Amino acid sequence: ILNVEQSPQSLHVQEGDSTNFTCSFPSSNFYALHWYRWETAKSPEALFVMTLNGDEKKKGRISATLNTKEGYSYLYIKGSQPEDSATYLCAYWMDSSYKLIFGSGTRLLVRP
């Protein structure tokens, strides 16, 4: 059974705070790790696709790191804004199979 775990389950921060959350996944047979942003009443949108150990990706105030040897990825948001409020999902892709296994997400609420 593949377990993709995300923590924390939910997070409330004040506007301007920086925050980060964790995605843990099996370190064996790693192929790719995805991060998606899911706003309420919308569909998930991809943020990053990461494949190499040590990868760091950045998109505006959001960045992510990847450690495939120990099986974790961090997502960072610098200077959170209310529009960052969403559920952030990570998804793990094992070797070359086309099964993207999603974590349960971290729900972020940024208060103005």
Partner 1 sequence: DAGVIQSPRHEVTEMGQEVTLRCKPISGHDYLFWYRQTMMRGLELLIYFNNNVPIDDSGMPEDRFSAKMPNASFSTLKIQPSEPRDSAVYFCASSGQLSNEKLFFGSGTQLSVL
Residues in contact with partner 1 by the rule CB under 8 A: 31-32, 34, 36, 42-46, 49, 51, 89, 93, 96-105
Q: Which amino acid is at 98?
A: Y
Half-sphere exposure of 109 (CA within 13 A, CB side): 5
The answer to whether the beta carbons of residues 49 and 34 sit under 8 Å apart is yes
Residue 40 or 112: which CB sits closer to partner 1?
Answer: 40
Min CB(14)–partner 1 separation in Å: 27
Residue 28 or 43: which CB sits closer to partner 1?
Answer: 43
Min CB(103)–partner 1 separation in Å: 7
Reduced to 3 states (helix: H, G, I; strand: E, B; else coil), residue 2 is coil
Min CB(20)–partner 1 separation in Å: 21
Which residues pair with residue 81 across a beta bridge? none
